[in-house]
Structure 1
Amino acid sequence: MAILLLLVLPKKVLADYDLTKMNVKAVVNSDGSLSMTRQIDYDFDDEANGVYYTQNLNSDQKVTSQSVQIKDLATGKTVTPKLNNSADSGNVYHFTKSSNSYKFKVYHHVDEGKIRVIYRYKITKAITTYDDASELNFKIIGDGWDQEISKVTASVVFQKPNLSFLKGWVHTNTSGNLEVNKEKGQVTATVAKLPENTFLEMHILFPNSLTAENTKKKSGEIMAKTVGQEKQLAKETAAKQKQKKRLEKIGLVVLSLLPLLGLPIFFKAKNQGAVVRSKKEIGHNYEIPPYSPAVAQSLVTGDDPDAKALAGELALKAGHKEITIEPLNKGKDFRYTKTDKYQGNVKLINQLFKGAGDGTTFTSKGLKNYGKKGKLEKKVKAWQEVCEDQIKKQFVDPNLRKKKDSLEVAAVLLFGAEIILTILGFFTYDYYTMSLLLVLLWEVLAALPVIIRIKNFSVLTEKGKEAIEQAMGFKNMLDDIGQFKLRDVGELTLWEEIMPYAVAFGLAKKVLKQMKVEFASEIDASPIAYYYYGNSYGMFATSFESSFSRALADSSGSSGSFSATSASSGGFGGGSGGGAF
């Protein structure tokens, strides 16, 4: 069935194009017909098989004397497709009639670029002659276009100048310009942009002498009736415009007042939990945090623990002699092995030993291969959730957390709705769109203090505040290494206990560099120094972080680094339109 569908369905259903210009000229003939020249400029962004145009008429009207011409606007080359209703390729066109619609379907392959298609044809019985004047009421551009049309010009031209009278009106759902020139015998309407599915209708009264051979006649006078009709339409249009302006003004007022609803949210976000001091106020903390490197990193960053944090956990276990870390290939690879002192208190590390190794040992290479099995990502998220739950239970006030969540939801709903409504206004407003820009700016400015206050809303208990400041102070101390003597803090054995946290904070290289200066001889004799200070990559943490990030990317199927986280007067031609295929 799938193969059958592929054979039956066309390769391309719709072409991607813009209508950059349309110039329509209707010459009024003495027999009451119109000689049409419809020039349409297409700008194709991709391959297309051709274009089409449909002209809708009344039941007593016909299209005759049709022809098509195509011009490549880049090269200037012109081709004239031949009428051939049986061919569906090459420079040919189909011309068919269905009910009261006449369709041109032009087969002209385009890779991309700009072309101009010119349709020429005659519409019979377009004019109605009355006792006092002749009338043309014609949707010269129908509402069957699904694309916006730029630079629209529509002209009705009479074959004699210096007319005794000429009256013209245009109906369309957009702004434009109308010129009625009886000296030249011409009525011209121009529109900068005609919205999709919008008609442009021209209603014109002119002397009967211009269509003396017209056989479509009606008794009675049309002038006074039409002028009255158009005045009524103009009056109704003016009333609609006035009402539209009034509604737009009301909308502007409402949209301008909506941001004030954010004031209750702003004031409710005032009462909060314990507030963490600034980095400068906290200063240095020389005591090792009473929680794991992963938790310490999360407390400082506010994010989920990452590969550095997990490397810190491994370093901590190495320091406690729960595992050994053996460099391979001159420090380019590492083997991690359990000892009889191993405690399986970090589930993710247990899973790495089992999934990336044999349950007792694993290597960096095995870790990379484990990631390709696609199971690592879920296990990492579970580990991160454990750390998050630990922080929430120990350091976060649950009532304040609920309050902050509700404030965030309220702010998103309020300001999101405001901005969406304002953006929708740009598509529906006709008169005060520039004012909408000011309203949008006001909404953004009004939202900022609320968003900032909610962002800074603390959900911490006093214990949580102290824990974060302790972790931040400890990181500050490690970051300022070199500004004080390490021995004033403690001997090498203490710094070996500190190192897992330096690894988690991404400061291991900086700390190790200073340790090698001040504890050179002790490091050479230390049984765990090579865990941190390999010959090739500097330390095992760098190798592990790289291997783990690669494994996680392979597991998630993506690339990248480890991440925590209008009115009508009844003219014929309605529904006429076209497009491309």
Structure 2
Amino acid sequence: MLKKVMAVISLSFLLVLILPMRSVQAKSYEIINYDVTVDIVEDGSAYFKEKITYDFEGEFNGFLFDLDYEPHETPTDLLVKVEEVGKEPVIISRDNSQTSGTYEVEDTETYLNFTVYNPVEDQALTVVYEYRIPDMVTNYNDIAQFNRKVIGGAWEDVLYDVDIRISLPHPVEPGELQAWAHGDATGQVTIENDQFVDLSLDANPAETFVEANVIFPTYITFDNTNQVEEDRLQTILANEASLQREQEAQRERFLLISIILGIIGPIFTLFVLWWLRKKYMQTNPNPYQEPDYVYELPEDMSPAIMMKAVFKKNPDAVDVSATILDLVRKGYLKMEELDLPRGFDYRLTKLKEPSDALFEHEKQLLFWLIDQTGDGQSVTFSEIEESDASPKKAKRFNEEREEWVRTVAEDAQSYTVHYRAPHASLAFGLMVMSVVASIIFFVGLVAAAFILDVAWLHVLAIVGVSLGIYTAYYYSQHPPLTPEGDRAGKDWRAFKRMLEDVGDFRMEDIGSVGLWDVYVVYATAFGIAETVLDQMAIQYPEDLVQTTSLFYPYYYYNPFYIGFVNQSVSSGMAAAAPSLSASGAGGEFSGGSSGGSGGGSGGGAF
């Protein structure tokens, strides 16, 4: 019989493992470094050099880069290079052949769209774009201004390790060079040696521009033809001051919201804990003490119903296997090993028609396997495994499987209703809300702590998420059950422990071989049938178990019997199941924008 049990378990696992799948080779990339240098020239133009380092996984054909140059004239002095770690840069030639080592540019009068053909696979590679934009600086009567979104907002990828350096032709007097940056609030702006402006970010979010607004004396760009006859310095300073005030106001609002959420979160969680405990004590004022072991079936229910109603497990192939063995035990099926030249197989034969004594899911299983999959009288496990022999057969097999799952749920419902406390649904909902809220508050507060540089927000975050975790733990240890449900759950767990530890006591003291055959059925559902059958072989005389056990003889001749049954059932269920196929002045940045050009620039890889 053990051999049969192993066969049922093997069949179950096979039903799951043969699910047709199509593997899809994943390919992706990250932009791990983005360096930009901007060299301002006396004539008001600027030379840009953008170095973008990609880390590729998979095969790619090259790079894409869109340069937004509106409202300026068309960029000149284009140069594209590719740099590999430890090697000299390779200049990419411009032509329209679309061959490796070339690039082409489309000019839309507002964008230059670069397509660089350079195949790459599973490596880091840097592409360099160099260009000159005329009239990049505007000279007013009282100040010169460089105002541009150096990195545009059209990048669909997070840009890591961003460094931008804007250089004047020569230093100015202290205080004459001022700079502001706009974009992600975590960036930093520094001025070095009264000549260089540096912008840096650890990570620039997708679709977020990085804008630099730099002002300096007009004598730096004395040869600039892009001149506007008006005073602009005070307007620029007032606008930046306004943006800074708005940033500070947003920061204060953010801090206030963070504090409120940091307080509300733990208070809500504490309320849920108090409510759960109150309801638990009202519903089950004298909780049942869970025993170490239970040696008898806690309740007369089928293994599939037990797993669904008590352990909240959705029916699967292992439950099919346990139900097959249970029907063998009850005399509705006979299992016999077939005499094959190689390998082994088993036949299930119907001995009698289903009676009212069976649950609906047991009747459905007989109809599914014997009448629909077999010939009305019997079925072999190999026939179950081959349930996908034709689309029509697979469809019918899967429909019957789904019907069996549905009837298990229906049969288990009467037990579930009896076990569940009236407030069970609300308790589960509040517990989930508490945990989700704690996680959201934790993430929000930690982010706020970093952004606002307020260390004590970390404490609120840790307190909140700790309470959420404890709420989930309390719920798991004190589920919303009636006294009957509480006792059933604890008794079945103790019964399972007894089967797991069956080698620690004398089986004869518990019951006869026939009783242990009953327990093998439930051990199959728990996934420990081999443990019980092994101990039957050790503790009972061989002639006794050979002649009186339904399951042991099969196990004696084939130790993989249970596994074979599970595998066969699993394979058939998986093979028949519908398949799915699978088809980038110094300080912090501030929000807003100072109106710089270049907001649409972006790129990627293809």
Query: Shorter-chain-normalised TM-score: which range?
Result: 0.7 to 0.9
How big is the shift at 1:20? 1.1
1:405 to 421, 425, 439: 425
Residues 258 and 371 of structure 1: CA distance in aligned 2, closer, same or farther (over 3 Å): same
**Equivalent residue number for residue 415 of structure 1:** 435
Residues 15 and 81 of structure 1: CA distance in aligned 2, closer, same or farther (over 3 Å): farther
Structure 1 spans left out of the alignment, 5+ residues:
1-13, 560-565
Give the secondary structure class of the aligned counterpart of 1:51.
strand
CA distance in 2, matches of 1:485, 1:187: 83
Residues 340 and 129 of structure 1: CA distance in aligned 2, closer, same or farther (over 3 Å): closer
How big is the shift at 1:72? 2.2
Q: What is the 5 A alignment of 1:471-490?
A: 476=498, 480=502, 483-484=505-506, 486=508
2:53 to 41, 60, 65: 41
**Equivalent residue number for residue 505 of structure 1:** 523
Q: What is the 5 A alignment of 1:299-448?
A: 303=313, 304=315, 306-318=319-331, 323-329=333-339, 332-339=344-351, 343=355, 345=358, 346-347=362-363, 348-370=365-387, 373-374=393-394, 375-380=396-401, 382-383=403-404, 386-387=407-408, 389-393=410-414, 396-397=417-418, 400-420=420-440, 422-423=442-443, 430-431=451-452, 438-448=459-469
CA distance in 2, matches of 1:485, 1:231: 85
2:592 to 534, 544, 567: 567
**Equivalent residue number for residue 54 of structure 1:** 67
How big is the shift at 1:517? 5.7
How big is the shift at 1:310? 1.7
Greater relative contact order (Cα < 8 A, sep 6+): 2
The answer (yes or no) to whether the contact 1:297–1:309 under 8 Å persists in 2 is no
Letter aligned with residue 72 of structure 1: E
Residues 270 and 189 of structure 1: CA distance in aligned 2, closer, same or farther (over 3 Å): same
**Equivalent residue number for residue 481 of structure 2:** 459
How big is the shift at 1:449? 4.0
**Equivalent residue number for residue 28 of structure 1:** 41
Q: What is the 5 A alignment of 1:16-415?
A: 16-18=29-31, 20-29=33-42, 31-45=43-57, 46-58=59-71, 61-84=72-95, 86-99=96-109, 101-112=110-121, 113-161=123-171, 163=173, 166-173=176-183, 174=185, 175-182=187-194, 185-196=195-206, 197-208=208-219, 210-219=220-229, 221-266=231-276, 267-273=278-284, 275-280=287-292, 283-285=294-296, 290=300, 292=302, 303=313, 304=315, 306-318=319-331, 323-329=333-339, 332-339=344-351, 343=355, 345=358, 346-347=362-363, 348-370=365-387, 373-374=393-394, 375-380=396-401, 382-383=403-404, 386-387=407-408, 389-393=410-414, 396-397=417-418, 400-415=420-435
Structure 2 spans left out of the alignment, 5+ residues:
1-26, 581-590
Letter aligned with residue 195 of structure 1: P
The answer (yes or no) to whether the contact 1:334–1:540 under 8 Å persists in 2 is no
The answer (yes or no) to whether the contact 1:296–1:471 under 8 Å persists in 2 is no
How big is the shift at 1:18? 1.3
Larger Rg belongs to: 1
**Equivalent residue number for residue 8 of structure 2:** none
Letter aligned with residue 130 of structure 2: R
Residues 478 and 452 of structure 1: CA distance in aligned 2, closer, same or farther (over 3 Å): closer
RMSD between superposed Cα atoms in Å? 4.2
Alignment size in residue pairs: 543
**Equivalent residue number for residue 513 of structure 2:** 495
1:552 and 2:552 matched: no
CA distance in 2, matches of 1:382, 1:289: 25
Letter aligned with residue 278 of structure 1: E
Residues 314 and 109 of structure 1: CA distance in aligned 2, closer, same or farther (over 3 Å): same
Residues 340 and 223 of structure 1: CA distance in aligned 2, closer, same or farther (over 3 Å): closer
**Equivalent residue number for residue 22 of structure 2:** none
How big is the shift at 1:54? 0.9
How big is the shift at 1:70? 0.7
CA distance in 1, matches of 2:380, 2:165: 80
CA distance in 1, matches of 2:40, 2:564: 81
CA distance in 2, matches of 1:463, 1:242: 51
TM-score of the two chains, using structure 1 as the length reference: 0.77
Residues 80 and 504 of structure 1: CA distance in aligned 2, closer, same or farther (over 3 Å): same
The answer (yes or no) to whether the contact 2:160–2:202 under 8 Å persists in 1 is yes
Q: Indicate the percent of aligned positions where both proteins have the same amino acid.
A: 18
How big is the shift at 1:385? 5.0
Residues 471 and 155 of structure 1: CA distance in aligned 2, closer, same or farther (over 3 Å): closer
Residues 440 and 378 of structure 1: CA distance in aligned 2, closer, same or farther (over 3 Å): farther
Letter aligned with residue 570 of structure 1: G
The answer (yes or no) to whether the contact 1:326–1:531 under 8 Å persists in 2 is no
CA distance in 2, matches of 1:77, 1:474: 67
TM-score of the two chains, using structure 2 as the length reference: 0.74
